[in-house]
Amino acid sequence: MASFGHSVIVSQVSAVLEAAVRAGLDRGALIAAAGLSQGTLASADARVPFSAEVAVWETIERCLPGEPIGLALADVSFDADAFGAVGFAARTSVDLGAAFGIAARYCGLMNEGTETRLAREGPVARLVDGPRSPHERWPRAKAEFVLGGYVILGRRWTESDWSPCEVRFQHVAPVRTEPYQSLFRSRVSFGQARNEILFDAALLAKPLKHADPDVAAYLCRQAEIQSLAIRPATSLLDLVRRCVERELPNGAPTVTAVSRQLEVKRRTLQRRLAALGTSFSALVDEARREVALRCALKPGATENQLAFRTGLSEDRAFRRAFRRWTGLSFAEWRAREMAPRVRSHGARGPSR
């Protein structure tokens, strides 16, 4: 079962989908099985429920039973662009230790359901990457994809053909272990407590061929900003608000869809919201207002863009809602809010 309320960056899910299509699977069927839509996947920096990614992996496994498909997909789609700013920050790091360290530091930005840890224990380094909850298990193909991907990228980025000391998986041993030996060229253990890679700690100092410290530092700052935007939800209201906001570009969110994401019954969710003094429709309206006011201040923002972003059917519906929220038209509110900014910039005088 996927972690309650956790989300994952869209680019990560898209990379898996594209690789699965190369393997001969139907993209539309995978998207439908995950309960997603083409619109949801349009923005690489958007987020979708972690349970949707798990559903994609489970569907891939059902379509290709018994195959080490995760290892095969890692070879063609586990790359920097699958992980947004974090992926490119790792790719431009000084050495392999810095790259793996960035992956560990920002694992929650890529996937809130994941825990990534890098530790050095004398001559051996340990990279752990698996479910945040100790009671959960990833689909076999996902675990193969992640650990296989780390080794594949580690070799490509350092331009060295190194092998781990040992690779450990939580899932049970498959019938065929030859593909694991072919990729890792080391001892592979199954039925373990964690998904992890053990390797020579000296490899942490291996320089990366794409190293660019200034670019890596900039991308890490961007990752910090993005991490603040997805700070962990601390209450049911926060979880519902976040689910609603993710669904807005697809139209009017429904209580059925959100309750499914949160893995609770629809009536249970409605009852719990009522006990907190609110309702699902009130939270939808609140989310629309927050998104509209936040996006209205962006350069070049238009009513049409905001109507789409808030999930309202047309510009007219957005205009009515915006006036109800603010007492002003979109143009009037934007002019009022932007005026202080213009004055403050003008007060500085010309630069010298």
Looking at residue 341, its pLDDT comes to: 45
Structure tokens at 97: 């230790």
Which phi and psi angles does 190 have, rounded to 5°?
A: -120, 165
User: How many angstroms separate the CA atoms of 346 and 75, rounded?
Assistant: 54
User: How many angstroms separate the CA atoms of 196 and 177, rounded?
Assistant: 17
CATH fold group of domain 7-227: H-NOX domain (3.90.1520)
Q: What's CA 351's distance to the chain center, in Å?
A: 41
Which DSSP state fits 264? S
Domain boundaries, the chain: 7-227, 234-346
Name 37's bridge partners.
none
Tokens 């059902």, residue located: 62
Tokens 């890679």, residue located: 197
Which phi and psi angles does 304 have, rounded to 5°?
A: -65, -45
CATH fold group of domain 234-346: Arc Repressor Mutant, subunit A (1.10.10)
Looking at residue 192, its pLDDT comes to: 92
On the question of a common fold for 7-227 and 234-346, the answer reads no
User: How many angstroms separate the CA atoms of 98 and 92, rounded?
Assistant: 9
Burial bucket for residue 82 (CB in 10 Å: 0-12, 13-18, 19+): buried
User: How many angstroms separate the CA atoms of 210 and 94, rounded?
Assistant: 8
Helix, strand, or coil here: 62?
helix
Q: What is the pLDDT along the chain (352 residues), one digit of tens a residue?
A: 444 468 888 888 988 898 888 888 999 999 998 888 888 888 777 888 888 888 999 999 888 887 788 998 898 888 888 888 899 999 999 999 999 999 998 888 888 888 899 998 899 999 999 987 767 888 999 999 999 999 999 999 999 999 999 999 999 998 888 999 999 999 999 999 899 999 999 999 999 999 999 999 999 888 877 776 666 555 678 788 888 887 888 778 899 988 887 778 899 889 888 887 889 999 999 888 888 888 887 778 888 888 888 888 777 888 999 999 988 899 888 888 766 444 444 444 433 3
Residues 6+ apart with CB under 8 A from 350: none
Structure tokens at 220: 């890490």
Helix, strand, or coil here: 129?
strand
Read off the amino acid at residue 255. Answer: V
Query: Taking each helix axis from N to C terminus, what angle separates 96-105 and 140-158, rounded to the nearest 10 degrees?
Result: 140
Residue ranges in the chain assigned as alpha helix (H): 10-22, 27-33, 50-63, 69-77, 84-91, 96-105, 107-110, 140-158, 178-184, 213-229, 236-247, 255-262, 266-275, 280-296, 303-309, 315-326, 330-346
SS (H, E, C) 193-243: CCCEEEEEHHHHHCECCCCCHHHHHHHHHHHHHHHHHCCCCCCHHHHHHHH
Residues 6+ apart with CB under 8 A from 181: 188
Half-sphere exposure of residue 279, counting CA atoms within 13 Å on the CB side? Answer: 3
Q: Are strands 187-189 and 166-168 parallel, antiparallel or unpaired?
A: parallel
What does R_g of the chain's alpha carbons equal in angstroms? Answer: 23
